Structure 1
Amino acid sequence: MTHANSTRTKDPLLQPLSIKKLKLRNRIMSTSHACGLHKDGFPQEAYQAYHEEKAKGGVGLSMFGGSSNVDIDSPSIFQQLNVGTDAIIPHFQRFSERMHAQGAALMCQITHLGRRGDPYAQDWLPPIGPSPIRETLHRGIPREMDEYDIERVVKAYGQAARRCEEGGLDGIETLASGHMIGQFLSPKTNKRTDRFGGSLANRLRFALMVHEEIRRNVSDDFVVGMRYVVDEGIDGELTPEDCVAAARMLERAGAVDFFNALYGSMDTSRSLSEEVFPGMGTPAAPWVAAVGRFKREVGLPVFHAAKLSDMASARYAVSEGHVDLAGLTRPQIADPHMVAKLMRGEEHRIRPCVGAGHCQSPHRPKCLHNAATGRELTMGHEIRKAEKPRRAVVVGAGPAGLEAARVLCERGHQVQIFEAAPQPGGQMLLAASSWRRDLISTIEWRLAELEILGVRVACNRYMDAHDIMALDPDLVILATGGIPQTGFGHGDDLVLSTWDIVGRQVKPAGDVLVWDNTGRHPALLAAGAALAEGARVQLATIDTTVAQDLVYPESTRWHKEFAKVDLRSQGHMRLTSVTRQGNRLEATLLNELTHESERRLVDQVVVEMGTLPMDDLFEELRGRAGNKGVTDIHALRDLKPQPRAAEGFELHRIGDALASRNVHAAVYDALRLCSVS
């Protein structure tokens, strides 16, 4: 028996699961989410291709349409689908055909946002809910629903389910956590005194009516489940016992065929980023035990996804009987072929999800370090071999350089990669500190891939133009990164960079002012490092508040970290000068709201302004390069090969060697340039 066959036979993740007449080929799923690829509210070509890649990669069940809206007073406020019209049916039909052809099942989540709606979005209709209680996160104050509203919405759910079945889907799930069904169920959001409020049975009445109407509109074979909260957490009022009791009522009524278990609330940034979608810095699989306790109390299959970040976590959850189906949603954004790799016995080659939350940014579903995800129509996830191998030299072994080397190797080119520092990683060696240490996996995975491809990074190798020319390259990629920019104005020679503090080049001491001009991580990492060393830290930012350039799981985490130590930041502050006052420093900050200046006497001033490209080597080489170091940006955008000069080597810069940006931009530079080189 081959290793791959042995893996398929023994691995609990690769065992089939049957629900009614639906047979799933394995225990791995992708849960519903708003991937941001919709067009006109429908899952069209890009949306389908994104999910189809997971089906090609072996997933058993792909759910889609996170928060697909059943009626118009549930507006699209975070790029949802519109399942409230028959116009979606043809898109569903094509979608299901594509997924089924690849062996995967397909389901949609349908919902009404209730109080989460935005009164100023889409059709400018007021949000509705069981009670007029405002949600902190989405800010709308709902109108209390009357019986006519309830009847209308119940019917809308039934019609949405019908459209899903007519579209060829295998099933649906409703959402009973935070959205309308959950708002009726929770005493936190349901203060009614009629037949829909008060007792647990009364609060569950709306859910039972919705599912009864759904059953009337679909066939007996159509699978109907519920995204279901098993514990509302510290911000909620539904206890685990309440959740079990309600689940048993749903089960006895024949309302659902499975529960897709959630933990926590979703009405604040903290609860959403720590409980429902826990990310970097939180333990792996934090709610599996709670879900397992719930599963032992019900008789239906239970699904779950919440930081099941890798196959090991998922395997534990399934093998220990905590879940029947493991949701590896964000991990499949990082690597949609992870199941296929597992089946081939290549689990070690799965690109890891580091939990950075970049896939939850406005640029969703872009993975921090897989630039092909969400670009399936143009890039694809498979690297094509080059027609003619070339001698390629990559200088710099941060994320951009390592990705360039990996892609060029996959293309079949002869690659050499050099790093001036003692070890690869670039800025990621600084970034992967504190609660963000998982970031280092973006480097470790690429190093492992390069080792498999037969390439080792040559460290402690500072390359000059003569060194590179001696290698007689056809292609030179400079990923030399940047150096900290600290040139804010008068006295910039007196300040430290965030790299000095985070990299432990300078020990923070006394009163330390950290001034942030980017809204990114470095200033916050420096402030945290200074606090850890016992310094008295002041934090000021040019923005309204700190972490303004970050996605909400990251910004929320930073705000929490600083709240725990009572570090308060001051916004709208511009650093204008630093001068010596004896053995101390006087920093002058301009309040951009009042235009008044204030002076602060401190021991150290730490400045974060991003980086400037290290371009000395580029300037040395460009005169000798056939393309003069010019990257044709139109060819780059269109994923076409760069114009070839008649003589000389081709020279390009990528990542922070070009401009100060994030990791995704760096690996995207490398992927789109090198995949056609």
Structure 2
Amino acid sequence: MSRDPLLQPYQLRHLTLKNRVMTTSHEPAYPEDGMPKARYRAYHAMRAKAGVALTMTAGSATVSRDSPPVFNNILAYKDEVVGWMRELTDECHDHGCAVMIQLTHLGRRTGWNKGDWLPSLAPSHLREPAHRAFPKKMEDFDIDRIVTDYADAAERMQAAGLDGIELQAYGHLLDQFWSPLTNAMDAPFGGDLENRLRFGFMVLDAIRARVGSEFIVGVRYTADETAKGGITEHEGLEIAHRLRDSGQVDFLNVVRGQIHTDPAMTDVIPVQGMKSAPHLDFAGKVRAASGMPTFHAARIPDVATARHAISAGLLDMVGMTRAHMADPMIVQKVVEGREDDIRPCVGATYCLDRIYQAGEALCIHNPATGRELSMPHVIPTAETRKRAVIVGAGPGGLEAARVAAERGHDVTVFEAAPDPGGQIRLTAQSKRRAEMIGITDWRMAQCAARDVTFHFNRFAEAEDVIALDPDVVVIATGGLPEVTILENGNDLAISAWDILSGDVAPGENVLIYDDAGDHPALMAAEAIAATGAHVEIMTRDRSFAPEVMGMNLVPYMRALQDKDTTFTVTRTLQSLAKSGNLLEATIGTDYSAHTEKRVFDQVVVNQGTLPLDDLYFDLKPLSRNLGAVDQTALVSGAGALFPDTNQAGTFDLYRIGDAVSSRNTHAAIYDALRLGIQW
């Protein structure tokens, strides 16, 4: 029997959890029509199969019609959810994994113009900044109805065979009652702590009356809002004691902070460059004070930190939720002594940012996550061994090399630079985003273990590729900054890459014209502002940096707002001209014929990249498929991937990532995976 603290079983009342690792409640936004169908089930089943002890579904499943999802959540108020949840639960149980679900009423944390267009509700009229809706202040009949809705939803989950439920009590309706910042009710539901807790205990009583004493019920709550006038640590511990003493609650899932704004949520769920496990010791304090079984998750990205959380007695179950999006096989690899093989979570938080921008959760460097029905986490061996040549060792090229090597192919990689990484290496120049290099390092280690041959400092020509007599050639050469978007004066501007690489020193009065809206412009702004220079970030859009998204925007704002920086929207940079030693910028707008002229000493343009594709076009006439890929076969995973259109050709050829068009890291890696598993 293993002596690893993480692999020890844990007894939660009658439920034996086979180890101490769980994925906490989160909503990847995979439901269909509000139901956890095949895609959702496959996502959780993969982690169950790989050894996680408890998978907590939904984040959160909504119990009432007037709590419409802000993104694609499970609708726990519909009876049809029972069958779908039973299928998910049964499959996870087959792998020895317990299943619970988080239930909630969102209260003010949603919009009135969603779902059935019912008014949002809260114990006050205060708007939540993140979701903007002004709620109706609840009446007595609202309270009675929602209490019943909670009990109905819990009964549905018990009928579906789940092992338990968790009530969401931070930021959502229960917490909106508990917090003095959001509760403006009169007695008996407002005022002192006992009154503010009353609604929550009514919910717990109703649930217990419906599901009995044996069904596991936990609460995820904030034990310290870290905000003036909010729930204090002292009050948070008192809440823990009252939940314990009620006899209604089987575990606590501890949170610290608030989630009503992007900055507040980022402190609760930190992104890269922020401290790992910032609330772990606090969760341990709640456990020690309450004596309650305690769960917790907040940027616990690696096995060492998780192991410490258990061995030090800080937690009973440790949540590694984003880590399991990067690598669902963490527990299996720990059991097999392969911790070095774990794909690291680099804290990019592409997953959460996509959800809150009304998308779906995707990992920045594991494209199989959320695509378990079509993409493998374990690469299958090919029937025939082939010779593969990959040109470019950025994230896409390295993924292509890794996948081809795992398929059993003979792989050679050419890279013009002295080191691998491509644009990731440029990104990692920022101390705050240095973890991104894990995307490169992990793939290099995987390739080294599979004898991939690398040629660095080698600008490959067509003859270099052909000399290796390849069966397949992958062009992953990326792109170079687009610098020709102005009517005049393109040669007077520099790119964000010039600043980030250190090739050009920052000016003193700098305009950054960001027409792409992604990370490089803000990274350049951060670097320039740190020197004391004035920086103006300008965009033609009505909001800036839309590709960076909410949580990732927070550290940029924290780095820039105390500096000499300004943000200008709905303006276009039309042209540049010399004005002595300075640059005169002609600035217009898409909204009218208005123009103005202003002077800067440096202008940075961020407009994505143009493909570095000369080698691809040199090789194209020599290939069997003339570079073409059958899109139907690519998407379906069935049929001939490469049309055999050139009988004189000797190899199949395709390109990926920015060598095709300016996109992002995830797109390049996904290109590499879904093409690579089909040959």
Task: Sort the TM-score into its range (normalised by shorter chain).
Answer: over 0.9
Distance 2:425 2:220 in 1: 39
Partner residue, 1:4: none
Partner residue, 1:290: 282
Determine if contact 1:236/1:265 at 8 Å carries over to the other structure.
no
> For 1:616-655, what aligned pairs fall within 5 Å after superposition?
616-640=614-638, 641-643=640-642, 645=644, 646=647, 647-655=649-657
Partner residue, 1:3: none
In the alignment, residue 76 of structure 1 is paired with which amino acid?
Answer: P
Q: Secondary structure at the match of 1:233?
A: coil
Q: Secondary structure at the match of 2:565?
A: coil
Distance 2:360 2:432 in 1: 23
Partner residue, 1:464: 461
Instruction: Report which stretch shifted further, 595-604 or 422-431.
Output: 595-604
- 1:566-603, Cα deviation, whole Å (9 max, x unpaired): 41110112111111112221111113345421212122
1:80 aligns with 2:73: yes
Distance 2:128 2:274 in 1: 25
Determine if contact 1:335/1:350 at 8 Å carries over to the other structure.
yes
- 1:522-570, Cα deviation, whole Å (9 max, x unpaired): 1111112222334332221222232211221112322232212241110
Distance 1:510 1:35 in 2: 44
1:102 aligns with 2:99: no
Partner residue, 1:559: 557
Distance 1:178 1:510 in 2: 43
In the alignment, residue 468 of structure 1 is paired with which amino acid?
Answer: V
Q: 1:674 aligns with which of 654, 669, 676?
A: 676
Q: Secondary structure at the match of 1:217?
A: helix
Partner residue, 2:254: 261
> For 1:654-673, what aligned pairs fall within 5 Å after superposition?
654-673=656-675
In the alignment, residue 465 of structure 1 is paired with which amino acid?
Answer: A
Partner residue, 2:539: 541
- 1:122-180, Cα deviation, whole Å (9 max, x unpaired): 11111111122211111112212222211111111111111101100000000111111
Distance 1:32 1:154 in 2: 21
* Inter-CA distance 236–643: structure 2 relative to 1 (3 Å threshold): farther
Distance 1:339 1:460 in 2: 38
Determine if contact 1:589/1:597 at 8 Å carries over to the other structure.
yes
In the alignment, residue 437 of structure 2 is paired with which amino acid?
Answer: I
Q: 1:581 aligns with which of 579, 582, 588?
A: 579
> For 1:364-513, what aligned pairs fall within 5 Å after superposition?
364-432=360-428, 433-489=430-486, 490-513=488-511
1:613 positional shift: 0.3
Q: Secondary structure at the match of 1:527?
A: helix
Distance 1:674 1:52 in 2: 24
Distance 2:206 2:195 in 1: 17
Q: Secondary structure at the match of 1:307?
A: coil
Partner residue, 2:240: 247
Q: Secondary structure at the match of 1:568?
A: strand
- 1:376-406, Cα deviation, whole Å (9 max, x unpaired): 1111211111110100000000000000000
Determine if contact 1:63/1:107 at 8 Å carries over to the other structure.
yes
Determine if contact 1:235/1:264 at 8 Å carries over to the other structure.
no
Determine if contact 2:219/2:249 at 8 Å carries over to the other structure.
yes
- 1:483-524, Cα deviation, whole Å (9 max, x unpaired): 100111211011111111110111122322111111101111
Distance 1:459 1:431 in 2: 20
- 1:614-636, Cα deviation, whole Å (9 max, x unpaired): 11111111111111111222222
Partner residue, 1:148: 141
Q: Secondary structure at the match of 1:109?
A: strand
In the alignment, residue 425 of structure 1 is paired with which amino acid?
Answer: G
1:456 positional shift: 4.2
Q: Secondary structure at the match of 1:63?
A: strand
Q: 2:46 aligns with which of 53, 59, 62?
A: 53
Partner residue, 2:296: 304
Q: Secondary structure at the match of 1:243?
A: helix
Distance 1:509 1:65 in 2: 48
Instruction: Report which stretch shifted further, 286-295 or 229-238.
Output: 229-238
Partner residue, 1:316: 308
Determine if contact 1:587/1:599 at 8 Å carries over to the other structure.
yes
Distance 2:636 2:523 in 1: 37
- 1:616-668, Cα deviation, whole Å (9 max, x unpaired): 11111111111111122222222244135354101100000000001000000
Q: Secondary structure at the match of 1:198?
A: coil
Partner residue, 1:166: 159
In the alignment, residue 475 of structure 1 is paired with which amino acid?
Answer: V
Instruction: Report which stretch shifted further, 430-439 or 513-522.
Output: 430-439
Instruction: Report which stretch shifted further, 53-62 or 489-498.
Output: 489-498
- 1:22-61, Cα deviation, whole Å (9 max, x unpaired): 0101111101111111011111111000000000111010
- 1:92-115, Cα deviation, whole Å (9 max, x unpaired): 111111000011000000111112
Determine if contact 1:488/1:575 at 8 Å carries over to the other structure.
no
Partner residue, 2:325: 333
In the alignment, residue 72 of structure 1 is paired with which amino acid?
Answer: R
Q: Secondary structure at the match of 1:596?
A: coil
Q: Secondary structure at the match of 2:623?
A: coil
Distance 1:310 1:235 in 2: 33
Determine if contact 1:654/1:669 at 8 Å carries over to the other structure.
yes
Determine if contact 1:655/1:667 at 8 Å carries over to the other structure.
yes
In the alignment, residue 535 of structure 1 is paired with which amino acid?
Answer: A
Partner residue, 2:125: 132
Distance 1:598 1:281 in 2: 39
Determine if contact 2:396/2:672 at 8 Å carries over to the other structure.
yes
Determine if contact 1:115/1:134 at 8 Å carries over to the other structure.
yes
What TM-score, normalized by structure 1, do the two folds share? 0.97
Q: Secondary structure at the match of 1:542?
A: coil
1:236 positional shift: 5.9
In the alignment, residue 357 of structure 1 is paired with which amino acid?
Answer: T
Instruction: Report which stretch shifted further, 465-474 or 623-632.
Output: 623-632
Partner residue, 2:601: 603
Q: Secondary structure at the match of 1:234?
A: coil
Instruction: Report which stretch shifted further, 215-224 or 47-56.
Output: 215-224
Distance 1:595 1:290 in 2: 57
Distance 1:480 1:363 in 2: 29
> For 1:139-218, what aligned pairs fall within 5 Å after superposition?
139-218=132-211
Distance 1:434 1:306 in 2: 21
Distance 2:123 2:581 in 1: 64
Distance 2:403 2:476 in 1: 14
Computed over aligned residues only, the root mean square deviation of the Cα atoms, in angstroms, reads: 1.3
Partner residue, 2:231: 238
* Unpaired runs of at least 5, structure 1: 1-7
Q: Secondary structure at the match of 1:158?
A: helix
1:347 aligns with 2:349: no
Distance 2:178 2:453 in 1: 57
In the alignment, residue 346 of structure 2 is paired with which amino acid?
Answer: V
In the alignment, residue 310 of structure 1 is paired with which amino acid?
Answer: D
Determine if contact 1:235/1:271 at 8 Å carries over to the other structure.
no
Determine if contact 2:630/2:643 at 8 Å carries over to the other structure.
no
* Unpaired runs of at least 5, structure 2: none
In the alignment, residue 589 of structure 1 is paired with which amino acid?
Answer: I
Q: Secondary structure at the match of 1:10?
A: coil
Distance 2:18 2:564 in 1: 51
Determine if contact 2:512/2:538 at 8 Å carries over to the other structure.
yes
In the alignment, residue 665 of structure 2 is paired with which amino acid?
Answer: V
Instruction: Report which stretch shifted further, 532-541 or 522-531.
Output: 532-541
Number of aligned residue pairs: give it: 669
